[in-house]
Every structure is written in structure tokens, then in C-alpha cells.
């Protein structure tokens, strides 16, 4: 498998690359070639070269070589799997609209490169924030590829929500199923437990509703900011772990019908505006994702889903002139 990863010298990739190379994505019987991309600045390239040295020094049985690039067309050539991790960070005093426009230049070029050189069946996961709209930009600039090839990561938010429920109910995270993240990977996202289970019970029967509405939702929405406040850096190891979870389930299929949250191109499911990259509950089978259908949506959930949809519409409108017609 050829796996392309952008932002190769960044913090997330310092966890992600070694997990991919060690076989945690495709298993111990599949060898991977890592194709790494960095911006064409001497310090970034040298840092990427240092990461490559460490990959060599691990002597992974499942790593079948690597290549280093500053050109996305060459990096993505014949790639089966692409992690778009590198993105322009938000600088102090930068408006969100300015951040979106700065990233539009990056992700439009990467979308064009994917269409030009990647495998037609390539699976693309956008990790770099703002992930949903960056994914939209890349997808719209890769018109020759199936829109279903593009996803944005909200699995980290789902993992965070699962942990909060597990701690609240004194259960193990493995006993929590079918938590949903609706919408945007931002402070408007909606962690929904209406259809979740805790061990053999419905989550709604064992989770205190006041705690859920007044504490848990906000804690999940703002967890990234809390981590930055605590350690001085954004989430890295947990983001890498969620990226592995997302891509592994997409390739190998979800287990026992469990739902996973994925930002995917909406076709109007659950009355969400078509064309947005919106996080839905999905199942995966044979390399394809499918949105879970037929769920009852309560008025509170509908309102929360609409709030995060409105934010994604605003983001799309902010960069509309930069999208291909």
C-alpha cells in the first residue's frame, strides 16, 4: 500500500507515521510505502529528513521504503491512501475567514494534485483544520475523483465523547457504542448520545441528562482548546490515533455494525444542505462508507445539528469564490 502524508515534519505526524509504518493501520501482513510531503522551506525539509532517519532506525518489518517530496503531484502519485495533515495554523489575531482563505490555496492545489496522480480509488482523510471545509476545498478541486473518496476527521471528537461517557458511568470505553458526532469539527459540533448504548443499557437511561447537556457537550466541543491551554500545543498523539481509527475502519470495515463518525459530502441526508462536508454516523464495508439512515431526531438534536450546519454554510460562503464552478 502506498500511503501519502502531508505535513510530514509536524507534531501529529511524529505519532502518525510511526504507527502506520509499524503495521497498526493495515496489519502485520501488509507492507507500506510512505510518501511524505513538506513545504519547500529548508527548515521543514530538514526536519522531514530527520523524521525519515528515525523511521529507518525503527527497522519496521512492515515499512517497505519511503520517499520525500515538496511537490504534491509526485507525492500523491498512485497513492492508495492519503492523510492531509499539514495545514496553515491560525495565527494570533487572524480571523477565521482569513484562515479559511489561506488554507484554500493549500487544499485546492492538493485536490488538483490528487486528481492528477493518485489512484482513482484513493481514500483521502483531511486532518488539518478547519478539516471539514479544507476537505470540501480539496474535493471540489478534484472533480475527476468520486466525492466519496474524501472524508474529514471527526473520529477524535467521537473518541473524546466516548471517554467522557465511560468516566461518567464508571464503564470502560470499549463498552460505549454508537455515539454520534454531527456536523463540523469545531466548537459547534454536536455529540449525540440519543442512540448510544453503555454496556447493555441505553445511554439515555444511565447518563444524567443535565450533565450531558450542561457539561459533556461543551467539554467535547472545547477539548482541543483545553489541551492547548494545558500543554501549550494542540492535540497530536490523540489526533494521530483517531486518524488511524478512521482510516482502518474505512478500509477494513466497521466491527459488529458499530457506527463511526465521519465528515463526508452530504447528499441531503437528515435535511442537511447538499454538498457540505458534514459529520454523520456511518458504517463501513469493503472500502465504502454508508450513512446510517432512519434515525429519529429529537427537537433538541435538530437544533444542535442546524447550528453546526449553519457554521459550515458560512465557512463555505467565505471561500465560495475560490471553489471551482
Residues taking part in catalysis: 185
CA–CA distance, 135 with 302 (Å, rounded to integer): 24
Q: At what angle do helices 237-252 and 155-169 cross, to 10 degrees?
A: 110
- Report whether 220 contacts 211 (CB < 8 A): no
- Report whether 157 contacts 261 (CB < 8 A): yes
Q: What are the helix and strand counts (H, E) for the chain?
A: 12, 14
3-state helix, strand, coil in the chain (%, to 5): 50, 20, 35
Nearest to 5 by CA among 57, 55, 60, 42: 55
Is the backbone peptide bond immediately before 130 cis, with ω within 30 degrees of 0? yes
CA–CA distance, 37 with 174 (Å, rounded to integer): 35
- Report whether 247 contacts 83 (CB < 8 A): yes
Please report the beta strands in 154-309, taking only residues with DSSP state E, as ranges in sequence order: 176-177, 180-182, 190-192, 197-198, 201-202, 260-265, 277-285, 288-291
Enter the C-alpha cell of residue 83: 492523510
Amino acid at each position: 500500500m502506498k500511503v501519502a502524508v502531508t505535513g510530514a515534519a509536524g507534531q501529529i505526524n511524529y505519532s502518525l507515521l510511526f504507527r502506520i509504518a509499524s503495521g497498526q493501520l493495515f496489519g502485520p501482513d501488509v507492507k507500506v510505502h510512505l510518501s511524505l510531503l513538506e513545504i519547500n522551506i529548508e527548515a521543514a525539509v530538514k526536519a522531514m529528513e530527520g523524521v525519515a532517519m528515525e523511521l529507518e532506525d525503527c527497522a519496521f518489518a512492515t515499512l517497505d521504503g519511503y520517499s520525500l517530496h515538496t511537490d504534491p503531484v509526485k507525492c500523491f502519485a498512485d497513492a492508495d491512501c492519503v492523510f492531509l495533515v499539514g495545514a496553515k495554523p491560525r495565527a494570533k489575531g487572524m480571523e477565521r475567514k482569513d484562515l479559511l482563505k489561506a488554507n484554500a490555496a493549500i487544499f485546492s492545489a492538493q485536490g488538483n494534485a490528487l486528481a492528477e496522480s493518485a489512484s482513482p480509488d484513493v481514500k483521502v482523510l483531511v486532518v488539518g483544520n478547519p478539516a471539514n471545509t479544507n476537505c470540501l476545498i480539496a474535493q471540489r478541486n478534484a472533480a475527476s475523483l468520486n466525492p466519496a473518496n474524501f472524508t474529514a476527521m471527526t473520529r477524535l471528537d467521537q473518541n473524546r465523547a466516548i471517554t467522557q461517557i465511560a468516566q461518567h458511568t464508571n464503564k470502560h470505553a470499549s463498552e460505549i457504542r454508537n455515539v454520534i458526532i454531527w456536523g463540523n469539527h469545531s466548537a459547534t459540533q454536536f455529540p449525540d448520545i440519543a442512540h448510544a448504548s453503555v454496556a447493555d443499557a441505553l445511554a439515555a437511561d444511565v447518563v444524567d441528562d443535565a450533565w450531558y447537556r450542561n457539561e459533556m457537550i461543551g467539554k467535547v466541543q472545547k477539548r482541543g482548546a483545553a489541551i492547548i491551554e494545558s500543554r501549550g500545543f494542540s492535540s497530536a498523539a490523540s489526533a494521530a490515533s483517531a486518524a488511524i481509527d478512521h482510516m482502518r475502519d474505512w478500509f477494513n470495515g466497521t466491527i459488529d455494525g458499530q457506527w463511526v463518525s465521519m465528515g463526508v459530502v452530504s447528499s441531503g441526508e437528515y435535511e442537511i444542505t447538499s454538498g457540505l462536508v458534514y459529520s454523520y454516523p456511518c458504517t463501513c464495508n469493503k472500502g465504502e462508507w454508508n450513512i446510517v439512515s432512519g434515525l429519529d431526531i429529537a427537537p433538541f438534536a435538530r437544533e444542535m445539528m442546524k447550528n453546526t450546519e449553519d457554521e459550515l454554510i458560512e465557512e463555505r460562503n467565505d471561500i465560495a469564490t475560490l471553489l471551482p464552478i
